[in-house]
């Protein structure tokens, strides 16, 4: 606690600002068009101070946590926002993460002030942003194949939508009506955020709000520093691999060196030794890597720690450009968000496990096992596209076994009920169970993965983007590895193994089976 | 004679009608066997008379929360045995590497699969073979269950396969809950969880209710039980479908709040029920009837039968206050509970919200529980002085605790109002529960709610709600049809016929309310609308109000059809209060310092039992009564209405 901060005011403002972010999220969920935002809740909301530091975030998607601030920074660097403006962007190389994630930000002006005092922003995953494949999540080699790239521009100027910008975007996507609906919802959510922050300023006065925002950032910083002070001094290295990039068979190494300085109460996280950027779409931009670091450190803090920019003040993240953890144009990046982000977390946890053996679980499944199926539904004659991520096992940890069949780390999206799936698509789900004995053995075994088996009742295009099919989730403190994932297809009675990343055509009656990895075990048996 | 009996943790509250007048009785609860207090109350109130007994019970809730229900076998389609454990594959806390999930009520060795399949259109893809059923029966019997839950895929579309399985298991001699009977709606996890909870509670609730029912019948009395939906059902139905009663008590509170608010002329209300460990809030427009949801969860497990839409937050009078490692104050969700309780009760060591209220002069040390319990002010002051950290004074610490508790509750109230598209300024805050009326005015001001209402006997409001609620039974089925499909009306007619038969079997004359759940084709959620000639247009309008847009070009589908059978209860107005002369001095107890807005101010203490209709006074003031204390801040203007309710204009 620094001098002059009032512990009560601090707590009340923390709660009030969090409430603003949550209200923005609720408005977005309520008004969005697409199931991915409404149902799977693939969005985030946040409030920033005038210099673009995040001061509150909703309890949304962890992968957005550390990367949202870069969007606002990019906007501040490029645009001069006036009252009633809303900025938009999705370019991973200019404040974004991957193209489907579109971020909007709106300034809060107080009284006659000419500079913005706060910003309200939100990010949502759009179901399609153009490019080679429906859903914009396929196996591409360059960013231009992945969809439309939007640099920071004003989508709304002085309160009116800039129709030219909107039309340019809508002309480049497969489902323009749905996109327009979702973007409108994002604009509405920004306005609600701005209104609620304005109300806070009216109630307490700008000076008092600003003072408490400073206190809140300092408080987050202090919580992190207290934690860093407890770590032993030293350097801890770890590495792990992505199976391949989906184009070549080469494994992709991610390496980290964590340097702790408890006396200075700070730490450095250095990914420079990671592999060069790759041909496929699993490259992560710096924002993703930063997000993964933010996530892991946030997990080391108590539940009530507010995820503000203050948390990262004592932490330095170092990367080398043109590597898989700091991709540069024209690398394709769609999968960096969903797959590489998980591996970066695995590597970081592995490093921290050397210093905090009791506080770090063994590796979780480490992949989102993305499954996309598209075709024509014979019942209606209409095209359909199904997308889902399939959970795996979480790693064993010092308090007990891992959890089976659960989303971990950078995602937390829901599954689709079997009965909903069969109403919506020409499928018959044949099995949805735990994948027995897939969790690694140990004093506390890893959680089991899942088996999802889907029979296609009509011919379809199947795309799988999954990892941990070659390199299994690691065990810790003597625990065994979790089982690798496995993808197969059975056609005309013949079972065939599928690679971790593939795009195939399958006939009616084909059965696609995804077995997700189990978590690693913790401790010797 | 009609009697409502609501079992609480400490007291069993009773409200009954005696020669046209309402009476209140409180007797100590008997937690080891809650039925003992219920029967004692019936005996004390009715004696030898026959009575219509209505009961709000926590037997089901507690069995579930303490996981002390039956050993249940869960039977489903082969290949889906783990559905009930996997749930929706999400974790409960985002940034906790040590998160755990509540284990399912049926462990792995109690989950069984049957080789069979029904398709989504109701066609049977595969029947269960005779041999498989016989084998299933042997396997289930060998596991020794005390109850069985059966929920096969798509059994709501065609229950034939599920019936065959139920028939095969029937003569094992334990209660069988079948999904096509309990909840014939789609989404296998939510339905399975609901049926499993039903089976888990069935043996215990059957024993409990049968015993009470026998005792009642012996006196020619009848027994009804409050459901979470806000309606009551005969005990026999509750024993068969106990999953419908798990929020019996809180539902009574909301129904009671609606009734007293309506009598006082308020239709749009926010209910605020604050107890020792948690706070329940709900938003109601009584003109539009009870608003239920089928998305409730208990211990993270979905309960998809209709329940009143009540939002709970972990802040109550017993919530503990402390400083985190970064030096910020936090309040709750940990609670001092009943044992050790707050510092001022004499045993607790750590500051709670109740302690803070006492130190600020907002509770009366001598008048707690009608003087039945003396609060220890000096002990509380000492502990606060030790725990206040860098704060300047004990008062600043106490005020901070109250502000923070209020901010948690404010968030919950915002969630059910602002976030759903409602403006709190259009509502009245109806406050009850032991701790509610102390906090109500500050909360109302924060949300700009102009008026707070504190009903008479706020501690017995739940029992009053049970006394006045209607007999209600809900019937539903997933149909997944386009709105112009003529089969729709047939489904509703069939449901209504079944509902009417069920009500007639209880000797009740009822009216049917038809509704349908609609969504835009391809959406993953649905909205309920009343069945009418223009129900599709009603859906577009509701969608627009709730979600900000409607798309009349887009195809719509009917997911579920619903029929709610209602047998009205003769309304009993909360007794009228005696008119007074407007001068509250007859109720005046003393003057005392109350800490408001950062300083000590002189305030009045009033005895609620001596206030009369028409009395008016302003804050700062404290109104004491047996089960609750009301704090009126300096800006508050109080008047007593003709029912004895406190109506407080908070100056928002």
Q: Are residues B83 and B184 in the same domain?
A: yes
Q: What is the pLDDT of residue A45?
A: 94
In a domain, A353, yes or no: no
Tell which of B380, B405, B430 closes a domain.
B405
- In order of A65, A68, A81, the CA distances from A89 in angstroms are 17, 11, 14
Supply the mean pLDDT for chain A.
Answer: 93
As a residue count, chain A comes to 525
Tell which of B360, B382, B405 closes a domain.
B405
Q: Are residues B161 and B234 in the same domain?
A: no
In a domain, A272, yes or no: no
Q: Are residues B195 and B233 in the same domain?
A: no
In a domain, B281, yes or no: no
Kindly report, residue by residue over A222-244, the tens digit of the pLDDT. Answer: 999 999 999 999 999 999 999 99
Partners of A427 in the β-ladder: A456
Enclosing H/E stretch for A118: strand A118-125
Q: What is the pLDDT of residue A246?
A: 92
**What is the average per-residue pLDDT within A87-108?**
96
Q: What is the pLDDT of residue A39?
A: 66
Look at A303 and B95 and tell me if their CB atoms are within 8 Å. Answer: yes
Cα–Cα distance for residue pair B564/A445, rounded to 1 Å = 49
Domain range spanning residue A66? 7-220
Nearest CA in chain B to A225: B326
For residue A304, pLDDT over 80 is answered with no
In a domain, B594, yes or no: no
pTM of the model: 0.91
Kindly report, residue by residue over B496-528, the tens digit of the pLDDT. Answer: 999 999 999 888 899 999 999 999 876 777 888
Q: Are residues B197 and B117 in the same domain?
A: yes
For residue A119, pLDDT over 90 is answered with yes
In a domain, B86, yes or no: yes
- Which three-class secondary structure state does DSSP give residue B149? strand
- Which three-class secondary structure state does DSSP give residue B462? helix
As a residue count, chain B comes to 652
Q: Which residues of B touch A299 (CB under 8 A)?
A: 95-97
Kindly report, residue by residue over B45-63, the tens digit of the pLDDT. Answer: 998 889 999 999 988 988 9
Q: What is the pLDDT of residue A123?
A: 95
Question: Looking at per-residue confidence, does B357 or B338 come out higher?
Answer: B357
In a domain, B197, yes or no: yes
Q: Are residues B395 and B494 in the same domain?
A: no
Kindly report, residue by residue over A153-200, the tens digit of the pLDDT. Answer: 999 999 999 999 999 999 999 888 889 989 999 999 999 999 999 999
Q: What is the pLDDT of residue B571?
A: 67
| Phi, psi angles (nearest 5°) of residue B91 | -100, 155
Rg, C-alpha atoms of chain B: 26
Query: B619 CB contacts (<8 Å, ≥6 apart)?
Result: B441, B596, B603, B632, B633, B634, B635, B636, B637, B638
Nearest CA in chain A to B479: A423
Partners of A105 in the β-ladder: A87, A121
Q: What is the pLDDT of residue A27?
A: 86
In a domain, B639, yes or no: no
| Alpha-carbon dihedral A341, A345, A347, A351, rounded to 10 degrees | 160
Q: Are residues B81 and B194 in the same domain?
A: yes
Instruction: Work out the minimum CA distance from A432 to partner chain B, whole angstroms.
Output: 5
Tell which of A220, A248, A282 closes a domain.
A220
Domain count within chain B:
4
Nearest CA in chain B to A17: B411
For residue B367, pLDDT over 80 is answered with no
For residue B482, pLDDT over 70 is answered with yes
pLDDT band at B574 (very low <50, low <70, confident <90, very high): low
Question: Looking at per-residue confidence, does B211 or A386 come out higher?
Answer: B211
Tell which of A220, A244, A264 closes a domain.
A220
Q: What is the pLDDT of residue B44?
A: 92
Give 3-state DSSP helix, strand, coil % of chain B, rounded to 5.
35, 30, 35
Q: What is the DSSP letter of A139?
A: -
Cα–Cα distance for residue pair B261/B451, rounded to 1 Å = 12
Instruction: Work out the minimum CA distance from A254 to partner chain B, whole angstroms.
Output: 22
**What is the average per-residue pLDDT within B621-627?**
89
What DSSP line would sit under A15-37, residue for residue? Answer: HHHHHHHHHHHHHHHHH--SHHH
Cα–Cα distance for residue pair A65/A59, rounded to 1 Å = 9
Query: B465 CB contacts (<8 Å, ≥6 apart)?
Result: B4, B230, B251, B252, B253, B254, B255, B256, B257, B258, B259
Determine contact, residues B276/B335, Cβ cutoff 8 Å: yes
Alpha helices by DSSP H, A281-321: 286-300
Instruction: Work out the minimum CA distance from A142 to partner chain B, whole angstroms.
Output: 32
Q: What is the pLDDT of residue A31?
A: 79
Q: How far is CA A477 from the centre of its chain?
A: 28
In a domain, A331, yes or no: no
Q: How far is CA A186 from the centre of its chain?
A: 18
Determine contact, residues B80/B113, Cβ cutoff 8 Å: yes
Q: What is the pLDDT of residue A3?
A: 53
> Smallest Cβ distance to A15: which of B389, B390, B411?
B411
CB atoms inside a 10 Å sphere around CB A36: 23
Look at B91 and A295 and tell me if their CB atoms are within 8 Å. Answer: no
Q: Are residues B85 and B199 in the same domain?
A: yes
Burial class (CB in 10 A: 0-12, 13-18, 19+), B403: buried
Q: Are residues B48 and B90 in the same domain?
A: no
CATH number of the domain where residue B51 is located? 3.30.420.40
Q: Are residues B401 and B488 in the same domain?
A: no
Q: What is the pLDDT of residue A229?
A: 95
Tell which of A199, A220, A241 closes a domain.
A220
Instruction: Work out the minimum CA distance from A276 to partner chain B, whole angstroms.
Output: 30
Candidates B108, B185, B328, partner chain A, best to mutate (most A CBs within 10 A): B328
Joined together, the tokens standing for residue B644 give 């004895």
Look at B95 and A295 and tell me if their CB atoms are within 8 Å. Answer: yes
Q: Which residues of A touch B414 (CB under 8 A)?
A: 19, 23
Joined together, the tokens standing for residue A332 give 């394709």
In a domain, B28, yes or no: yes
> Smallest Cβ distance to B327: which of A7, A417, A433?
A7
CB of A432 within 8 Å of a chain B CB? The answer is: yes
Query: B630 CB contacts (<8 Å, ≥6 apart)?
Result: B437, B438, B440, B454, B608, B622, B623, B646, B648
Q: What is the DSSP letter of B496?
A: H
Kindly report, residue by residue over B296-336, the tens digit of the pLDDT. Answer: 888 889 999 999 988 888 888 999 999 988 888 989 888 88
Domain range spanning residue B135? 72-203
Task: Give which of B490, B527, B529, B537 is closest to B513, Cα–Cα.
Answer: B529
Look at B389 and A304 and tell me if their CB atoms are within 8 Å. Answer: no
> Smallest Cβ distance to B89: which of A39, A219, A405?
A405
For residue A340, pLDDT over 90 is answered with yes
For residue A21, pLDDT over 60 is answered with yes
Cα–Cα distance for residue pair A44/B94, rounded to 1 Å = 13
Kindly report, residue by residue over A30-62, the tens digit of the pLDDT. Answer: 778 776 777 667 899 999 999 999 999 987 778
For residue B354, pLDDT over 50 is answered with yes
Q: What is the pLDDT of residue A4?
A: 61
In a domain, A356, yes or no: no
Candidates B96, B97, B103, B517, partner chain A, best to mutate (most A CBs within 10 A): B97
In a domain, B20, yes or no: yes
**What is the average per-residue pLDDT within B153-167?**
97
Partners of A242 in the β-ladder: A252
Alpha helices by DSSP H, A254-327: 286-300
CB of A219 within 8 Å of a chain B CB? The answer is: yes
In a domain, A522, yes or no: yes
Kindly report, residue by residue over A75-89, the tens digit of the pLDDT. Answer: 999 999 999 999 999
Tell which of B518, B540, B562 closes a domain.
B562
Q: What is the pLDDT of residue B573?
A: 65
Kindly report, residue by residue over B242-285, the tens digit of the pLDDT. Answer: 999 998 888 999 999 999 999 899 999 999 998 887 899 999 98
Q: What is the pLDDT of residue A1?
A: 46
Instruction: Render the burial of B234-263: b for 16+ CB within 10 Å, e for the rest.
Output: bbbbbbbbbbbbbbbbbbbbbbbbbbbbbb
Residue with tokens 């009675």: A493
Domain count within chain A:
2
pLDDT band at B294 (very low <50, low <70, confident <90, very high): confident
Determine contact, residues B329/B401, Cβ cutoff 8 Å: yes
| ipTM for the whole complex | 0.93
Candidates B326, B356, B390, B560, partner chain A, best to mutate (most A CBs within 10 A): B326
For residue B21, pLDDT over 70 is answered with yes
> Smallest Cβ distance to B90: which of A219, A407, A423?
A407
Burial class (CB in 10 A: 0-12, 13-18, 19+), B287: exposed
Q: Which residues of B touch A223 (CB under 8 A)?
A: 324-326
Give the A window 23-82 contacts with B, CB below 8 Å. 23, 26-27, 30-31, 33, 35, 38-39, 59, 62
Question: Looking at per-residue confidence, does B21 or B151 come out higher?
Answer: B151
Q: Are residues B147 and B239 in the same domain?
A: no
**What is the average per-residue pLDDT within A483-504?**
96
Determine contact, residues A17/A56, Cβ cutoff 8 Å: yes
* Strand-strand pairing, A370-377 and A382-389: antiparallel
* Strand-strand pairing, B2-7 and B52-56: parallel
Look at A188 and B120 and tell me if their CB atoms are within 8 Å. Answer: no
Cα–Cα distance for residue pair B242/B208, rounded to 1 Å = 11
Share of chain B above pLDDT 90, in %: 69
Q: Are residues B44 and B115 in the same domain?
A: no
For residue A379, pLDDT over 60 is answered with yes
Q: Are residues B56 and B80 in the same domain?
A: no
In a domain, B253, yes or no: no
């Amino acid at each position: 606690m620094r001098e002059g901060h009032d512990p009560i005011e601090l707590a009340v403002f923390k709660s009030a600002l969090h409430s603003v972010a949550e209200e923005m999220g609720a408005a977005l969920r309520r008004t969005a068009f697409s199931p991915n935002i409404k149902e799977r809740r693939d969005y985030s909301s946040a409030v920033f101070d005038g210099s673009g530091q995040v001061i509150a975030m909703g309890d949304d998607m962890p992968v957005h946590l550390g990367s949202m601030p870069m969007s606002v920074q990019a906007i501040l660097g490029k645009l001069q926002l006036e009252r009633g403006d809303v900025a938009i962007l999705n370019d991973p190389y200019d404040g974004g993460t991957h193209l489907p994630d579109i971020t909007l930000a709106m300034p809060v002006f107080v009284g006659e002030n000419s500079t913005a005092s706060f910003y309200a922003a939100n990010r949502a995953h759009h179901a399609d942003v153009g490019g080679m494949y429906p859903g914009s999540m396929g196996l591409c080699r360059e960013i231009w194949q992945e969809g439309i790239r939007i640099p920071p521009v004003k989508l709304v100027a002085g309160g009116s939508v800039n129709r030219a910008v909107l039309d340019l975007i809508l002309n480049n996507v497969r489902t323009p009506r749905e996109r327009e609906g979702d973007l409108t919802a994002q604009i509405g959510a920004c306005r609600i955020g701005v209104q609620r922050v304005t109300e806070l300023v009216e109630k307490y006065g700008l000076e008092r709000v600003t003072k408490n925002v400073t206190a809140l950032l300092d408080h987050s910083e202090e919580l992190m520093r207290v934690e860093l002070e407890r770590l032993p001094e030293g350097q801890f290295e770890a590495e792990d691999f992505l199976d391949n990039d989906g184009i070549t068979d080469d494994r992709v190494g991610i390496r980290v060196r964590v340097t702790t300085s408890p006396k200075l109460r700070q730490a450095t996280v250095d990914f420079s030794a990671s592999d060069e950027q790759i041909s496929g779409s699993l490259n992560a931009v710096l924002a993703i890597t930063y997000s993964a670091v933010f996530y892991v450190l946030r997990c080391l803090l108590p539940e009530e720690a507010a995820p503000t920019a203050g948390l990262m003040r004592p932490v330095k993240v170092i990367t080398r450009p043109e590597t898989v953890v700091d991709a540069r144009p024209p690398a394709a990046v769609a999968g960096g968000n969903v797959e590489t982000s998980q591996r970066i977390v695995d590597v970081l946890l592995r490093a921290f496990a050397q210093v905090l053996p009791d506080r770090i679980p063994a590796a979780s499944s480490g992949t989102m096992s993305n499954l996309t199926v598209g075709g024509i539904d014979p019942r209606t004659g209409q095209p359909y596209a199904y997308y889902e991520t399939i959970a795996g096992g979480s790693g064993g940890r010092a308090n007990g076994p891992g959890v089976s069949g659960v989303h971990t780390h950078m995602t937390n999206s829901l599954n689709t009920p079997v009965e909903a799936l069969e109403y919506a698509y020409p499928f018959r789900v044949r099995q949805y169970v735990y994948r027995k004995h897939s969790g690694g053995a140990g004093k506390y075994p890893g959680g089991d993965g899942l088996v999802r088996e889907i029979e296609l009742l009509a011919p379809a295009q199947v795309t799988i983007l999954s990892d941990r099919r070659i390199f299994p989730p690691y065990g810790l403190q003597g625990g065994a590895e979790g089982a690798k994932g496995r993808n197969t297809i059975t056609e005309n009675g013949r079972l065939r193994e599928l690679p971790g990343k593939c795009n195939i055509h399958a006939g009616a009656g084909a059965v696609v089976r995804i077995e997700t990895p189990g978590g690693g075990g913790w401790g010797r048996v | 004679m009609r009697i409502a009996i609501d079992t609480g943790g400490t007291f069993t509250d009773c409200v009954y009608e005696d020669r046209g007048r309402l009476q209140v009785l409180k007797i100590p609860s008997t937690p080891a066997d809650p039925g003992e207090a219920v029967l004692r109350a019936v005996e004390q109130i009715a004696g030898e008379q026959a009575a219509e007994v209505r009961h709000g019970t926590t037997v089901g809730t507690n069995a579930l929360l303490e996981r002390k229900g039956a050993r249940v076998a869960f039977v489903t389609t082969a290949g889906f045995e783990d559905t009930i454990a996997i749930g929706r594959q999400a974790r409960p806390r985002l940034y906790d590497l040590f998160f755990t999930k509540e284990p399912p009520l049926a462990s792995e060795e109690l989950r069984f699969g049957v080789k069979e399949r029904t398709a989504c259109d109701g066609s049977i893809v595969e029947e269960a073979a005779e041999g498989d059923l016989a084998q299933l029966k042997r396997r289930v019997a060998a596991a020794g269950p005390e109850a069985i839950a059966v929920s096969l895929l798509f059994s709501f579309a065609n229950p034939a396969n599920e019936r065959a399985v139920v028939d095969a298991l029937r003569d094992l001699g334990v209660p069988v809950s079948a999904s096509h009977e309990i909840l014939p709606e789609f989404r296998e996890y939510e339905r399975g969880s609901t049926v499993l909870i039903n089976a888990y509670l069935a043996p215990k609730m059957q024993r409990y209710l049968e015993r009470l029912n026998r005792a009642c019948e012996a006196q020619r009395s009848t027994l009804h039980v409050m459901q979470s939906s806000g309606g009551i059902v005969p005990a026999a139905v509750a024993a068969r479908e106990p999953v419908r009663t798990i929020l019996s008590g809180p539902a009574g509170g909301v129904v009671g709040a609606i009734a007293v608010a309506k009598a006082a002329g308020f239709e749009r209300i926010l209910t605020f029920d604050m107890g020792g460990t948690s706070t329940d809030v709900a938003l109601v427009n009584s003109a539009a009837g009870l608003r239920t949801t089928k998305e409730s969860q208990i211990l993270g497990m979905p309960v998809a039968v209709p329940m009143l839409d009540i939002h709970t937050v972990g802040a109550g009078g017993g919530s503990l206050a402390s400083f985190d490692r970064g030096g910020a104050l936090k309040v709750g969700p940990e609670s001092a509970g009943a044992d050790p309780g707050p510092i001022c009760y004499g045993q607790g060591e750590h500051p709670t919200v109740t302690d803070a209220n006492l130190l600020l002069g907002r509770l009366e040390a001598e008048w707690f529980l009608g003087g039945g319990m003396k609060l220890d002010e000096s002990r509380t002051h000492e502990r606060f002085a030790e725990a206040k950290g860098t704060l300047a004074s004990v008062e600043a610490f106490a005020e901070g605790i109250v502000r923070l508790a209020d901010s948690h509750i404010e968030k919950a109230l915002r969630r059910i109002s602002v976030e759903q598209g409602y403006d709190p300024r259009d509502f009245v805050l109806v406050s009850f529960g032991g701790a509610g009326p102390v906090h109500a005015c500050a909360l109302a001001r924060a949300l700009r709610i102009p008026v707070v209402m504190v009903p008479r006997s706020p501690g017995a409001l739940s029992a009053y709600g049970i006394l006045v609620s209607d007999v209600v039974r809900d019937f539903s089925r997933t149909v997944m049809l386009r709105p112009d499909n003529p089969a729709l009306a047939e489904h509703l007619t069939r449901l209504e016929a079944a509902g009417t038969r069920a009500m007639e079997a209880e000797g009740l004359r009822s009216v049917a309310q038809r509704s349908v759940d609609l969504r835009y084709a391809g959406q993953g959620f649905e909205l309920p609308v009343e069945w009418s000639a223009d129900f599709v247009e009603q859906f577009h309008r509701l969608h627009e109000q709730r979600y900000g847009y409607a798309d009349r070009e887009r195809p719509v589908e009917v997911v579920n059809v619903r029929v709610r059978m209602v047998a009205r209860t003769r309304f009993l107005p909360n007794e009228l209060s005696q008119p007074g002369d407007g001068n509250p001095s007859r109720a005046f107890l003393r003057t005392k310092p109350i800490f408001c807005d950062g300083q000590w101010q002189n305030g009045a203490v009033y005895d609620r039992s001596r206030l009369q209709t028409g009395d008016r006074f302003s804050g700062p003031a404290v109104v004491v009564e047996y089960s609750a204390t009301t704090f009126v801040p300096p800006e508050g203007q109080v008047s007593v209405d003709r029912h004895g309710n406190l109506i407080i204009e908070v100056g928002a």
